[in-house]
Structure 1
Amino acid sequence: MPNVLVIEDDARVAAEIKSALLDHGFRVDGAFNGTSGLSKALGGNFDVIVLDRMLPEIDGLSLLTKLRGAKISTPVLILSALSAVNERVDGLRAGGDDYLAKPFEFIELTARVDALARRKIAAEAVNELRVGDLCLDLINRVLYRADKPIELLPKEFAIIEFLMSNAGTLVSRKMIFESVWGYSFNHESSVIDVHIGKIRKKLDPDGLNPCIHTVRNTGFILRAAA
């Protein structure tokens, strides 16, 4: 039974969210402003946080930034009346895992919370990924090749995690972009290729056989090195 923290300053909306989640089988705690919400989020063991963007005392995005800065990785569903693409992008960039615009149907909210809870459980069940001589330590966030650690920047780590999770499968640039950045893909952007190029330089020094292969005009495949 997942634990959910609902941080929402509108008492009526908070009560309706709590009722919907309880009916779905979740345990629910609540906070009505950013200060108490942050305190509970930092101190509690929650599986999902439902976070209103417009909060008194500490706004939702500032609260989320503080959480991520404190290394709290609990999945966060942002609720907001601000539904424009740039608003969703800001929320996801701040560390949100999903974004639901108000007004919403409670059946969709519970489905999204359920999906985030399942994702957290699945992530906790796997401590590392292995493909050939590559080992990705998901707990300490370190990549090893042939038992040698490789330093990666956060976006590089996210990309290699996605590629290793889909090892042997062709993944498009759009799939990588939406998994790592979480918003609509700009087909004219070279950001994926730039990051892949940097990762390759770190993975394949000293003549080691490559792990990441480009499929022209399509995407990439990560395979165990030959």
Structure 2
Amino acid sequence: MHITIIEDEKILSNNIAKKLNRNGYNTKIFNSYNEFINENNLNSDLYIIDISLNDGNGFDIIKHIRSKRDSKTPIIITSGYWDLEKKIYGLDLGADDYLAKPYSIEELEARIRALIRRSYEKTNNSEIKYNDLIFNFNEKIIKKNGVIIDLTSKEIQFVEYMILNIGKPVKKIDIINSVWGKFDEIDVTDNTINVTISKIRKKLGKSFNLKTMVNRGYMLK
């Protein structure tokens, strides 16, 4: 999951990036309007944009992103100087959420997870793109760089369940009930889940960014 941070406060942007990187996200920082506008090869799954930049404003960046026919990638806008008109203007331009400074990085992460889930839930397509993977719900296949990956039916079910719950901690019991079924609950051990995850990671590599959440299960980021 690639997140672009456009923020002229370098300490803040570095702190955000460090926390997100530790939690499995890939981040790229731009500390000015011009630095971002001059970037030609940008691939992002979510934008965090400070409205009050030293050499421009974040509203123009939203216009730039949406003018590139990128109407779906979630955008969070931030500012230390909010009023109702600015909020409405930013949302009308195409932002999906806003945060007033100062804010906690934990709250920012929660909003990121919510927007990611919402963006997946909104899709009407039979396919979902996740990093460099494409999951086809109808055919139950996963492609990586255009090549179909050989997964077992249980591995496919596991990946599908985690994609549908992306950004949300999922308990082991819920995974068991969804992938193996309630009647198999007694026979499915922690080792069964661990072996399944190990095989999936071996086949999909770093593209499948699954994190173990202590006492909470697993979360796909």
TM superposition score normalised by structure 2: 0.52
- Deviations 1:52-103 (CA, angstroms, capped at 9, x unpaired): 1011333100111121122122211001112222221111112111000101
Superposition pairs for residues 85-96 of structure 1, below 5 Å?
Answer: 85-96=84-95
Report percent identity of matched pairs.
29
- Deviations 1:155-191 (CA, angstroms, capped at 9, x unpaired): xxxxxxxxxxxxxxxxxxxxxxxxxxxxxxxxxxxxx
Task: Give the 3-state SS of the residue equivalent to 1:43 in structure 2.
Answer: coil
Separation in 2 of the partners of 1:52 and 1:127? Answer: 34
Q: Check if 1:17 corresponds to 2:23.
A: no
Separation in 2 of the partners of 1:71 and 1:127? Answer: 21
1:51 corresponds, among 49, 52, 64, to 49
Q: In structure 1, list runs of 5 or more residues that go unmatched.
A: 129-226
Task: Give the 3-state SS of the residue equivalent to 1:79 in structure 2.
Answer: strand
Separation in 1 of the partners of 2:30 and 2:124? Answer: 29
Amino acid in the other structure paired with 1:59: N
Separation in 2 of the partners of 1:64 and 1:27? Answer: 21
Task: Give the 3-state SS of the residue equivalent to 2:4 in structure 1.
Answer: strand
- Deviations 1:136-158 (CA, angstroms, capped at 9, x unpaired): xxxxxxxxxxxxxxxxxxxxxxx
Superposition pairs for residues 1-226 of structure 1, below 5 Å?
Answer: 2-40=1-39, 43-73=41-71, 74-124=73-123, 126=125
Separation in 2 of the partners of 1:45 and 1:18? Answer: 16
Task: Give the 3-state SS of the residue equivalent to 1:13 in structure 2.
Answer: helix
Amino acid in the other structure paired with 1:56: N
Contact 1:78 1:100 in 2 (8 A): yes
Separation in 1 of the partners of 2:124 and 2:18? Answer: 29
Task: Give the 3-state SS of the residue equivalent to 2:49 in structure 1.
Answer: strand
Amino acid in the other structure paired with 2:82: S
Deviation (angstroms), 1:14: 0.5
TM superposition score normalised by structure 1: 0.51
Number of aligned residue pairs: 126
Separation in 2 of the partners of 1:100 and 1:35? Answer: 23
Runs of 4+ in structure 1 over 6 Å off: none
